[in-house]
């Protein structure tokens, strides 16, 4: 498989001219897919952690159980003549308020014996912290906490009211009482007690109304009885005929009135014997008694799992977005292009150790990496060398010179290979590029300018007293005769300035002997050798290590490289999962 990932070429313009903000902020499906590929492990980790926390909460938190009791209310009382007809829904809502009233709740507290300190005592962590803070504040300011005699019955009513809820079942006259607590037996007991308390309260109201109505009827019966039996018989008539006739008429009227009062008396007497109060206040009955629940109502397992997965997913995505916003690491070729707008970017995937070959024994004067070879790098670096203006011009000039049968040639073409950070693979790229160029027949030299590396054990060649950096020539196997390598190392203590000047002077001298010179520089975070030798260098290959190099590092080294001398940027050690050969985009 080819190691070439991306080569992006712009027809014109500066090689590292930044992309306009409009193009940089554009979000495409490819960006979303790349974000998903790079962040799914982080999201999965957050989901697993969230599920662990949710599972711990579901197991360690106290379970709550809800018991339900159902009461069926009768129809609302019949409206009196001239009154509006009662709305059944309004009546049910009013009865729900009655169930939740202090009258019914207080009755439940008294009947169940909940008005005790054991029930109302709050030993939760929040109560303990609140009590401790209040005591500390009181001792800090030198005051005493006010002692208030607690109303245990009122506190018990408040706790009971918080523990239950009442709701109407659909549009029917049935209401459901639900009680939630940590004890399923207590939940069922309290739900039944509330239902019985409401029904008992209704019975008492009905009994009180009946007693009041009976008392009123008795008073009216006494009055009617006096009026019904208060008439006396007519004993004698007046002697005057007119007066006698008048007396007869009055007596008949009294008898008629007495008959009317007797009828009213009998009707009221019959009414007092019936249960008239039951028609005024309807009765209710329990149609479903509460049973101790077997499964807890809170926390629900399905809901905890769903919320844990959602919370973990949201946290993972948020973490990934924050990391992407704050962490400007260069992971793929698109990251390099998006952050700087460079026009030539090559991605090289991570090469396993088994694919590296040792070309020959490594001399003590060379770096060990110079003796290794990876065939996958040759294809990528051959394409890079093909696009180098200097390499193409040298080869064409050499062919034309041979056709004319004359010798010629100007100063050698110098290619600098550098990186912003150490251990980015610049030495590997330099030696493979030198091998590719040497295979074309050009006289090529690889210069190891890593002068801060330890000196060789064997005596240095050409270490004359006038040289600030001693030189050691060596040869490594190549496709033809071999590749010449020049290692520059100090013989003693040397300053960075003297080392940079010595490297530049050596390159100027070697240009007269070699057609192409590949220079393996130190990383720019250690020395300024690349910037000092920029006047001698023809083109620069910039090597970056994926996931280790940041956009700030890249922008920093681009400031010291002229745009016309930047040949290409190589991003090494790309993950093969995100590596897709033969893919390119055009900005």
pLDDT by 10s per residue, the chain, length 587: 334 444 333 333 444 444 444 444 567 887 788 788 878 999 999 999 999 999 998 888 888 999 999 999 987 766 655 555 557 888 999 999 999 999 999 999 999 999 887 787 765 556 667 766 777 777 777 676 566 567 889 999 999 999 999 999 998 999 999 999 999 999 999 999 999 999 999 888 888 888 887 787 778 767 767 766 665 555 565 667 777 677 777 767 777 777 777 677 677 667 666 655 455 555 789 999 999 999 989 888 899 999 999 999 999 999 988 887 777 888 888 888 887 787 788 889 888 888 888 876 666 668 888 888 888 888 888 888 887 866 655 554 554 444 333 344 456 899 999 999 999 999 999 999 999 998 888 899 999 999 988 765 445 555 555 667 888 888 887 666 678 999 998 877 889 999 999 999 999 999 989 999 999 999 999 999 999 999 999 999 999 999 889 888 888 999 999 989 999 999 998 876 555 544 443 33
* Tokens, residue 581: 């050969």
Q: Assess if residue 298 is contained within a domain.
A: no
Residue 309 lies in a domain: yes
In angstroms, the first-to-last Cα distance of the chain is: 26
258 with 191, same domain: the answer is yes
Q: Report yes or no on 340 lying in a domain.
A: no
From residue 54, give the alpha-carbon distance in Å to each of 126, 301, 315, 508, 524: 21, 9, 14, 69, 49
- 70 in the same domain as 47: no
For residues 129 and 254, membership in a common domain is answered with yes
Q: Do 252 and 319 fall within a single domain?
A: no
CA 39 to chain centre: 13
Same domain assignment for residues 552 and 416: yes
Q: Is residue 388 part of a domain?
A: yes
Predicted TM-score of the model (pTM)? 0.56
Looking at the structure, do residues 142 and 224 belong to the same domain, yes or no?
A: yes
Last residue of a domain, one of 240, 257, 288: 288
Residue 91 sits in which domain range?
65-288
- The owner of tokens 């990932």 is 5
- Strands 174-181 and 65-73 come out as antiparallel
470/566 same-domain check: yes
What is the C-alpha to C-alpha distance for residues 110 and 126, in angstroms, rounded to an integer? 28
Tokens 């704050």 map to which residue?
Answer: 326
d(CA 8, CA 337): 9
207 and 265 co-located in one domain = yes
In this structure, are 150 and 283 located in the same domain?
Answer: yes
Query: Do 418 and 383 belong together in one domain?
Result: yes
132 is a domain residue: yes
Task: Provide CB contacts within 8 A for 557, sequence distance 6+.
Answer: 418, 419, 420, 524, 530, 542
Q: Is residue 296 part of a domain?
A: no
Give how many domains the chain has, as a whole number. Answer: 3
Pairing type for strands 345-349 and 357-358 reads unpaired
| Nearest alpha-carbon partner for 521 in 513, 511, 535, 532 | 532
| Phi, psi angles (nearest 5°) of residue 93 | -65, -35
Residue 42 sits in the same domain as residue 105: no
458 lies in some domain: yes
- Is 393 in the same domain as 457? yes
């Amino acid at each position: 498989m080819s190691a070439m990932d991306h080569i992006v070429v712009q027809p014109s313009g500066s090689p590292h001219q930044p992309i306009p903000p409009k193009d940089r902020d554009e979000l495409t499906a490819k960006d979303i897919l790349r974000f998903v590929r790079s962040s799914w492990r982080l999201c999965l980790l957050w989901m697993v952690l969230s599920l662990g926390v949710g599972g711990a909460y579901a197991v360690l938190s106290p379970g709550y159980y809800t018991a339900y009791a159902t009461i069926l209310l009768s129809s609302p009382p019949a409206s009196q003549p001239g009154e509006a007809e009662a709305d059944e829904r309004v009546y049910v809502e009013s009865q729900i308020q009655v169930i939740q009233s202090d009258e019914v709740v207080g009755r439940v507290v008294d009947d169940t014996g909940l008005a005790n300190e054991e029930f109302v005592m709050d030993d939760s962590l929040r109560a303990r912290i609140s009590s401790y803070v209040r005591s500390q504040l009181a001792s800090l300011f030198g005051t005493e906490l006010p002692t208030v005699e607690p109303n245990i019955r009122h506190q018990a009513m408040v706790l009971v009211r918080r523990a239950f809820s009442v709701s109407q079942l659909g549009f029917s006259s049935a209401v459901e009482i639900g009680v939630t607590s940590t004890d399923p037996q207590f939940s069922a007991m309290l739900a039944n007690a509330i239902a019985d308390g409401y029904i008992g309260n209704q019975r008492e109201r009905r009994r009180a109304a009946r007693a009041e109505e009976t008392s009123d009827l008795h008073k009216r019966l006494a009055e009617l009885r006096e009026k019904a039996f208060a008439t006396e018989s007519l004993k004698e008539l007046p002697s005057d005929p007119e007066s006698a006739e008048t007396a007869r008429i009055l007596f008949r009227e009294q008898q008629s009135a007495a008959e009317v009062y007797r009828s009213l008396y009998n009707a009221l007497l019959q009414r007092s014997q019936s249960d008239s109060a039951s028609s005024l206040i309807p009765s209710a009955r329990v149609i479903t008694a509460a049973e101790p629940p077997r499964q807890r109502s809170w926390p629900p397992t399905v809901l905890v799992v769903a919320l844990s997965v959602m919370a973990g997913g949201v946290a993972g995505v948020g973490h990934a977005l924050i990391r992407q916003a704050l962490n400007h690491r260069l992971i793929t070729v698109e990251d390099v292009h998006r952050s700087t707008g460079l026009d030539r970017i090559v991605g090289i995937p991570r090469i396993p150790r088994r694919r590296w070959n040792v070309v020959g024994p490594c001399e003590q004067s060379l770096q060990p990496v110079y003796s290794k070879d990876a065939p996958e790098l040759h294809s990528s670096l051959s394409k890079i060398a093909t696009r180098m203006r200097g390499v193409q011009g040298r080869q064409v000039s050499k062919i034309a010179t041979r056709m004319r049968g004359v010798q010629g040639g100007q100063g050698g073409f110098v290619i600098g290979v550098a990186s912003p950070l150490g251990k980015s693979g610049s030495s590997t790229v330099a030696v493979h590029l030198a091998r590719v160029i040497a295979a074309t027949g050009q006289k090529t030299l690889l210069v190891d300018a890593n002068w801060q590396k330890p000196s060789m054990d064997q005596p240095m060649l050409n270490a004359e007293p006038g040289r600030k950096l001693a030189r050691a020539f060596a040869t490594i196997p190549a496709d033809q005769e071999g590749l010449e390598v020049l290692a520059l190392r100090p013989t003693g203590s040397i300053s960075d300035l003297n080392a940079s000047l010595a490297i530049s002077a050596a390159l100027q001298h070697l240009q007269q002997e070699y057609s192409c010179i590949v220079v393996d520089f130190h990383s720019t975070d250690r020395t300024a050798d690349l910037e000092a030798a920029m006047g001698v260098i023809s083109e620069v290959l910039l090597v970056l290590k994926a996931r280790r190099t940041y956009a700030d590092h890249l922008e920093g080294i681009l400031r010291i490289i002229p745009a016309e001398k930047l040949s290409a940027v190589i991003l090494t050690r790309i993950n093969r999962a995100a590596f897709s050969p033969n893919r390119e985009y055009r900005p």
